[in-house]
Amino acid sequence: MSKNKQEDILEAAMQLFAERGYDGTTIPMIADKAKVGAGTIYRYFDNKESLVNSLFVKCVTQFSDILNSEFPGNSGDVREQFSHIFYRMFQFAKHNPYALLFIDSHCMGYYLNEESNKVYDDFLAFIIGAIEKGQERGAIRQLPSNALIAIVYGAFIMLFKMEQAGALENTGQLLEELEESCWNAVRII
């Protein structure tokens, strides 16, 4: 018996949304997994859409916080900054696999409201900012920053999905190699 039913509901919803998508997940499914009555969900969230948006904001915020925390801003060099972001992304993925899958599969959903979209855009903006700083210093290729994000974030997401699917076993050794690969994609050679 958990003390916090709202947490239980969010956790259950996150796993189910990540696995089956928003429309493929029913309120009774969430209630069962969270071990609460179906009606209880409506004490904490106005409706299903409100639930998915609350959850989305929460997950993106967590992800963003991980990347931001201890970020070697002005002081650190570009290589170091890249490394920080890359490893923090994998750290988040490791500890919050469902959150990441949920974010990735729902970030374009027609049910997201303005706030959700803004939070997601802000999250991307942080990475874009770091990249553009790196470009100014001449360490990163002169490509549109959105393209650079796409390469690194896209590769990261796919690597994570592969690992989730059991097609890849992630060791510390491999992670270092992947980090170097991705760095090679964006740095000036």
Partner DNA sequence: TATGAATGAGACTTCATTCAT
Partner DNA sequence: GATGAATGAAGTCTCATTCAT
Q: Which is nearer to a second copy, 72 or 157 (CB)?
A: 157
112, containing H or E segment: none
Q: Name which of a second copy, DNA, none residue 57 binds, using a CB cut-off of 5 to 8 Å depending on partner kind.
A: none
Going by C-alpha positions, the residue among 147, 125, 119, 127 that lies closest to residue 71 is 127
List, as own/partner pairs, every contact residues 144-150 make where C-beta atoms lie below 8 angstroms and the sequence separation is at least 24, other chains included.
Answer: 148/186, 149/124
Q: Which is nearer to DNA, 35 or 79 (CB)?
A: 35
How far out from the chain centre does Cα 92 lie? 8
| Residue 98 Cβ vs DNA, minimum distance, rounded to whole Å | 18
Neighbours of 53 (CB within 10 A): 22
Q: Which residues pair with 140 in a beta bridge?
A: 187
Using CB under 7 A as the binding rule, whether residue 111 contacts DNA is answered as: no
Q: Name which of DNA, a second copy, none residue 151 binds, using a CB cut-off of 5 to 8 Å depending on partner kind.
A: a second copy
| Residue 50 Cβ vs DNA, minimum distance, rounded to whole Å | 8
- Using CB under 8 A as the binding rule, the residues of this chain from 89 to 128 that contact a second copy are 105, 108, 110
